[in-house]
A = this chain, B = another copy of it.
Amino acid sequence: MKATIYDVAQAAGVSIATVSKVINQTGRISDKTRKHVYEVMEKLKYEPNMVASALTKKSTYTLGLTLPDLANPFFAEIARAVEDRGREYGFSVLICSTDNDPDKEVQYLSLLTQKRVDGIISAARIQNDHFLKKMLQHHIPFVLITREMPTLAVDTVMVDDFLGGYLAGSHLVELGHKRIAILVEDMDNTSNLERIRGCRQAMAASNVMLDEGLVLISGYSVECGKSTMKELLSLDERPSAVFACNDLLAIGAIQAAREVGLQLPSDLSVVGFDNTTLATIIDPPLTTISQPIQEIGRRAVDLLIQEIKQEKVLKQRVVLLPDLVLRKSSSAINER
C-alpha cells in the first residue's frame, strides 16, 4: 500500500496538517520539523496523492488538448509546444485525437470535463458548435487554436489565414502564373475558406481570375492530395501552379506531379501551408506559408492559464501573421 499523509504524519510525530504545509510550502513551519518531515517522506517513499489534493483544491493541474490527429506532424508539433509551455506552469496535458469525428469530439470534451481538467485547448475542428457553446457556459477555460469560430466569444490563437492565402496567391501571380489550382482538405471550416479567399483576392489584384473549377476538395492526407492532383493533371489545360491548403496536400501534389513525369518547379509550382518539418524533407523543398507553431502553442497556454488563474476576464482573439517561406517548389512560369 502506498504511504499516505497519515503515515508520514504518524512516523514524523506531527499532524497531517503540518505535513500538508511542508508539502505545499504554505503556512509557517519551523526548519526543524520541515526537515524532519522531509526525511520521513523520503524514507517512506511518500508520493503526495494529487487526485486527493485535486478534490479539495479544485485544480488538477492538467490541461486537455483536442486535435484532429496526433500522428499528423503539424498537430504533433502543436502538441509538443503546448506540452512544453504547460510544463513551465506546472501543468500536464491530456491529449485527444478526434479525427474530426463529431461523436469523438463530444465524447472527448465531455470526458475532459469529467476528469476536471483545468482548461482545454482545442485545435479540433469542432463540428458541434452548439456543444461548444454549452462548454463555455460551464465556464471551463477554453482556447481555440489554429481556427476560429466567428460566432462565438471564445479565446483564440490563430494565424491570419486570409493573409496566408494572399501571400501564397501573390507569390504565384508574381511568378507569372495564371492558371492556378487550389487543393483544399474540406470547405467546412473557416480557415480553409479564408485561405482560398486570400489567394483569390491576391490573384484578382493582379487581374488573374481564379477558375473555380480548379478549386478541388481532396480530403485529408498525402494520399488524398496525390489522387486529387492526378485528376487536376489529367485536365486538358492543366494548371501551372497549385496552392495546397496544407503541407500534406502539397506533398501529395508534388508526388503526383512527379509520378506523371513533370519536373518541379519548372512544369508545376506548388505552395503549401503550415511549414511543418515535412516541407524540408520533400524534394523539391516546399515553398510554403509558415504558421508559428511554437508561438501558437505558447500563447494558447498563456491565455488558458491566465483564465484559469482568473487573472483575466477579457476574451481575445490573437491573430499571428504568417510568412511566405521560399524554397524550391515554386518558380517563374515556364512558357513553352
Contact = CB atoms under 8 A, between A and B. Distances in A.
Contacts of A113: 47
A276 to B, nearest CB: 10
Interface residues of A, number: 47
A251 B279 CA distance: 13
Interface stretch (A73-81, A119-127, A238-246, A314-322): A73-81
A267 to B, nearest CB: 16
A2 interface: yes
Contact of A97 (B48, B54, B80, B115): B80
Contact of A278 (B76, B83, B278): B278
Given A51-B115, A114-B48, A116-B49, A93 B95 contact: yes
Given A48-B114, A94-B62, A77 B71 contact: yes
A47 to B, nearest CB: 5
A32 interface: no
A289 to B, nearest CB: 19
Interface in A101-137: 110-111, 113-116, 134
A195 B76 CA distance: 27
19 contacts: A45-B134, A47-B110, A49-B114, A50-B115, A51-B115, A51-B116, A62-B115, A69-B80, A70-B79, A70-B80, A70-B83, A71-B73, A71-B76, A71-B77, A71-B80, A72-B76, A83-B95, A222-B281, A278-B281
